[in-house]
Amino acid sequence: MGENQPVLEVQAITRRYPGVTAVDGVDLALFAGEVHALLGENGAGKSTLIKMIGGALRRDGGRILLHGQEVDFRSPADALAAGIAVIYQELVLCPHLSVAENVLMGHLPQTPTMAVDWPTTRRLVATLLDQLGVTLPLEVPVARLSTAQQQMVEIAKALSRDSRVLVLDEPSAALGRRDLEHLFAVIRRLRERGVAIVYISHRLEEVFEIADRVTVLKDGALVGAWPIADVTMHGLVRAMTGRDLGMLAAPETTVGQPLKLEVRRLGRRGVFADVSLRLHAGDVVGIAGLVGSGRTEVLRAIFGADQPDAGEVLVDGEPVRFRSPAQALRHGLGLLPEDRKTQGLLLGRALRENLSLASLGRFSRFGLLQLGEEERAVRGFIQSLNIATRGPSQSVVTLSGGNQQKVVLARWLARRCRILLFDEPTRGVDVGAKEEIYRLIHELAEQGAAILVVSSELKELFAICQRIHVMREGRLVGEYAGESLREDRVAEAMLIGGASDGDAAVVAG
Amino acid sequence: MGMQRSLPAERILGRGHPRVDAREILTKYGTVIALLLLVVVASFASPRFLSPVNLMNVLRQTAIVGVLGIGMTFVILTAGIDLSVGATLALSAVLLAGTLDATGNIWLAMAAALLVGAFVGLANGLGVTLGRVQPFVMTLGMLGIARSLAFLYTKGEPIPVLEMDFLKLGIGYLWRIPVPSIVFLALLAVAAFALHYTRFGRSVYAVGSNEEAARLSGISVGRDKVLVYVISGLTAAAGAILYTAQFAAAPAIAGEGYELDAIAAVVVGGTSLFGGQGGVVGTFIGALIIGILSNALNLMGVSPFAQPLAKGALIILAVLLVGRGRRS
């Protein structure tokens, strides 16, 4: 690689939106058989760039060269036909169709009578999956697969089109560690076959693990492109943010603070069982676990979004039974959901409406909205959380991921919740915004909130929690605090079931 | 991908050089532009179109479907649909006429109509929320039930209404404006206020935009959904009052097909069938567009056989225009 001609070359590509230039004269060269990491904070222009490469967005300037020939894609279908496949974060499969049908969607082999040629379909798909080193049931509707498996279907789909360029937009965002290993194995196979891969991720460790070269964008412009061997983690962070990342101090312990939330042997049949937790004012407690271990479901059951069928929840020492989230809210609980697009945001609505959604009672008298009061509060949060926006009436769909997340967070701050349940608080959020969100969690805890955090990133939990529970297959398998709070132990518990009796399990508080 | 963290304020705010985007204008004011175009075309096509008498006619004819459209807007904003409004109108109308016939009390009769409308709406709402029946199916079933009840009640004979004080509601004028139009405009003002200045209105948009997010934010989704169907039932009953007063009779076939005109008014007015976008002001314009089109076609002597064709084409065109602007 290096001296030969790039498979795909982007020259001075530009895309403008009203009031902002999302991508400003960016160059990018992709070579066959390389994994090329594309880095940048949210809003740096990565998504816009790959959408232009994938034919989903028209460019306002610049050129795209494929094998040295200038090309002009008018639609994703054009790009796909030319051998460029983009796999977006939100997977676009047909949930009720089978794996085989999804993989060959759009070019299913046919018999002379125009019926689908099932034997050929199965053979082709089996071969494709085999090349990826993946085993999947061909006849099962993809809705029944895990996110990781669905991702493999997407990759197989791209491969079925004989794509020479494969763009993966944050493929790891929804994956646990084991699924990630699997994904990397597949990426390495593709690399050996000479596919050029663009890999987007916010997790820098991954980039060092898988990438050959790295390109960094900031504010829509190119910062630079380097072989991975020439850069350091700190160097990349500086390139992305323009500043150094400070380390956060571990928060103080909270002995003697009042008990805010207690969960006793909570269970929901077939999902999780026997979950007990205690949160004091000022606590930041984490739940670590793989995707699918039941973490999200525990938060939802505490919050009344799903109904538990065993155990009890106590708020400020009083037993409560929430039949709906509305009741949980009245007791001072707030839940930041796992997926902000499907569970958090009113995408087509204004920032103002999104932010005040949980506090409409506070902003109304006798059912009438106090718009002035609302406006002042919203502007206050825009400023204090440093939300980059044109103003309260901007539609949230046009905000970057980090800013969207801040809006959802602010919704609970406006509500002045005293018990906060955060599910993946920084998923798909850039490094800078991540740090701001951590700082915010610290401040909230200092002001006496009790916070329960679920995250797929151990680093994140270690940065903000004094205590970490590990969840595995629907049960809490260990609690780590103080001396025992070590990353290797927690990781081990997540993957293989944790400490034997009396070893690392600590009862804190 | 929109704004970026560390851009200078001028770039973020676009201060100094406000960009005028043709697409944005089309999305925002597309229906108003369509209405104005239609008025211009109609006034050229028929000199009588702009006469005050005719304009008052248009207003009066728009009122009933417009009133139905108000309730329909609430339902559609929550991503629902109410196919039963025409049938509810008929059921309310025959019970109104029946009550009036039996008691001679106008107020009691109107109360009966509104009560029936609210009850039908409540049934729809409970079916959709507690019963988890899809709105399309629930209200389609209700269409059949309500219409059939109206026929059973009247035994197929229209009930005449002769109370002059009541008929003024349909054919009278106030400040030289037809009373039905005043009722329509008043309800419109109330609805617009409710949608934009009340907590309930906010919830309606939230539920239609993302039901799960609304629920997790403490909105009582079920209660709000029931309420929008009750509102739709009430506006159908209000439509029944206007209808009966205008035609001096309550036949069981009253309001047949009105549900489609009401939905058309909402959709032409720019409210999204997916919920969360739009409002009653759009519905007002949508109702006017449809009313003016019918009126103009009549004035031009277009065959009644061809009129639905023109209406249908207009609806598709309007949605195409609005959708084109909104899509990106």
Element housing A285 (H / E): strand A284-288
CB contact under 8 A, A360 and B205: no
pLDDT of residue A503: 38
Claim to verify: residue A390 and residue A430 sit in the same structural domain: no
ipTM attached to this prediction: 0.74
Distance (Å) from the alpha carbon of A496 to chain B's nearest alpha carbon = 33
Report the pLDDT value the prediction gives residue A497, as an integer from 0 to 100. Answer: 61
CB A494 within 8 A of CB A462: no
Which pLDDT band, with edges at 50, 70 and 90, does B323 fall under? low
Q: What is the pLDDT of residues B229-258, one digit of tens each?
A: 999 999 999 999 999 998 888 898 888 888
- Quick: pLDDT tens for B256-305: 888 988 998 998 888 888 888 888 998 999 899 888 888 888 888 888 88
**pLDDT at residue B115 greater than cutoff 90:** yes
Name the residue in chain A with its Cα closest to that of B214: A357
pLDDT at A36 over 90: yes
Q: How many CB pairs under 8 A join A and B?
A: 148
Q: Do B5 and A43 touch (CB under 8 A)?
A: yes
Which residues on chain B are in Cβ contact (under 8 Å) with A22?
1-2, 4
Half-sphere exposure (CA, 13 Å, Cβ side) for A199? Answer: 32
Q: Same domain, yes or no, for A87 and A213?
A: yes
Q: With pLDDT > 70 as the criterion, what percentage of chain A qualifies?
A: 92
Q: Of A416, A433, A455, which one is at a domain's C-terminal end?
A: A416
With respect to residue A69, please indicate whether it lies within any of the assigned structural domains.
yes
CA atoms within 13 A on the CB side of B229: 29
Q: Residue B195's pLDDT band (boundaries 50, 70, 90)?
A: very high
* Residue of A332 and B323 predicted with greater confidence: A332
* Whole-angstrom distance, CA of residue B219 vs CA of residue B202: 10
Phi, psi of A28 (to 5 degrees): -155, 130
Q: Is A307 on the interface with B (CB under 8 A)?
A: no
Q: Write out pLDDT tens, residues B141-190.
A: 999 999 999 999 998 888 888 887 888 888 888 888 888 989 999 999 99
- Chain B interface disruption, residue of A336, A357, A412, most B CBs within 10 A: A357
Q: Which is more confident, B208 or A496?
A: B208
- Mean pLDDT for A367-392 is 86
Res A251: pLDDT: 46
Question: What pLDDT shows up at residue A504?
Answer: 38
* pLDDT of res. B122: 96
Spell out which residues of chain A touch residue B6, defining contact as CB-CB under 8 Å: 219, 242
Say if A54 is an interface residue toward chain B (CB within 8 Å).
no
Which pLDDT score, from 0 to 100, does residue A422 have?
92
Range of the domain at A316: 258-332+418-509
Instruction: Compute the nearest-CA separation of A223 from chain B (Å).
Output: 15
pLDDT at B72: 95
- Structural domains of chain A, count: 3
Helices B199-209 & B52-77, crossing angle to 10 degrees?
Answer: 70
Between the alpha carbon of residue B220 and those of residues A332, A415, B279, the distances in Å are 16, 16, 21
Encoded amino acid at B60, one letter: R
Task: Residue B9: list chain A partners with CB under 8 A.
Answer: none
pLDDT tops 90 at residue A386: no
pLDDT at residue A42, rounded to an integer: 67
Q: Based on the fold, state whether residues A199 and A149 are members of the same structural domain.
A: yes
- Rounded Cα distance between A79 and A69, Å, is 14
Average pLDDT, chain B: 84
Question: Where a domain ends, among A392, A416, A440?
Answer: A416
H/E element holding A46? helix A46-53
- Please indicate, yes or no, whether residues A430 and A307 belong to a single structural domain of this protein: yes
CATH of B55-292+310-315, one of 3.30.1490, 1.10.3470, 3.40.50, 2.60.120: 1.10.3470
- Strands lying side by side in the sheet with A467-472: A333-336, A419-423, A450-455, A284-288, A467-472, A475-481
A469 touches A478 (CB < 8 A): yes
A261: CB partners within 8 A, 6+ apart: A277, A278, A279, A302, A313, A314, A315, A333, A419, A450, A452
pLDDT band at residue B22 using 50, 70 and 90 as cut-offs:
low
CATH number of the domain encompassing residue A154: 3.40.50.300
- Of A387, A416, A445, the position where a domain reaches its end is A416
Helix, strand or coil, per DSSP, at residue A454: strand
Percent of chain A with pLDDT over 90: 12
Domain residue spans of chain B: 55-292+310-315
Task: For residues A396 and A421, give the distance between their C-alpha atoms in angstroms, rounded to a whole number.
Answer: 22
A183 and A91, same domain (yes or no): yes
What is the helix (H) or strand (E) element at residue A226, kind and residue range?
Answer: strand A221-227
CA distances to A278, A358, B69, B248 from B258, in Å: 58, 37, 9, 18
Are A345 and B210 an interchain contact pair (Cβ–Cβ within 8 Å)? yes
Segment B15-29 shows an average pLDDT of 55
Question: At residue B5, does pLDDT exceed 60?
Answer: no
Say how many Å lie between the first and final Cα of chain A, rounded: 57
Question: Residue A383 in contact with residue B9, Cβ under 8 Å?
Answer: no
pLDDT at residue B9, rounded to an integer: 39
Question: What's the rounded mean pLDDT across residues A295-307?
Answer: 90
pLDDT, one tens digit per residue, over B59-86 is 888 999 999 999 999 999 999 999 999 9
How high is the pLDDT of residue B95? 94
